[in-house]
Structure 1
């Protein structure tokens, strides 16, 4: 993705913007969208937080050098799992788990933590 588009998407929409700013990011739809309804909609893609989306975003953030935002995403997911267990998707405001229980997409957090570890080891000098 070209850097100018990356800066716009990450900067204006994800980091500095309020469209996706929730206690448990990243909602599947911007909060200002007319269809946004993460709790009462029968359509599950209208705002809940899905770990699989965050997994893709996490990789992108690391690739583009946004380590702090990537780490924040992982910590949010760890909190979600601690609060509601391994669920299919979550309420982006309360962290309540929805859908299937013991759902393995939430297990993607383990892969994300490993990516964080690798990214940190390439940034920090090694100690012997």
Structure 2
């Protein structure tokens, strides 16, 4: 099972609403699926997007989305207004966080698909 790199910097974006988190992840997946965005998916340093949900699918308290340096660069290129984020190390991410986007490539997700992926492990 893939894990975030322990010593790498990840950028944490928090959401209280699953719809907002899904919109954010869907927008990033769509941006990364464009042919012009191939630079963010290079095998040597692909964009990584991870998530973790606090609570259950029925009672979500908080959604955390983590992006590596390449993922944050993609976020900065794809959004006019950036959400607030802070830096954490890979070994600070929850052990059971899930990989949404990584070295395996990316598909352009709509809101429902992004929400399904976010909730797939909760």
More helix by share: 1
* TM-score normalised by length of structure 2: 0.29
By relative contact order (CA 8 Å, sep 6+), the higher-ranking structure is 2
More strand by share: 2
Larger radius of gyration: 1
* TM-score normalised by length of structure 1: 0.28
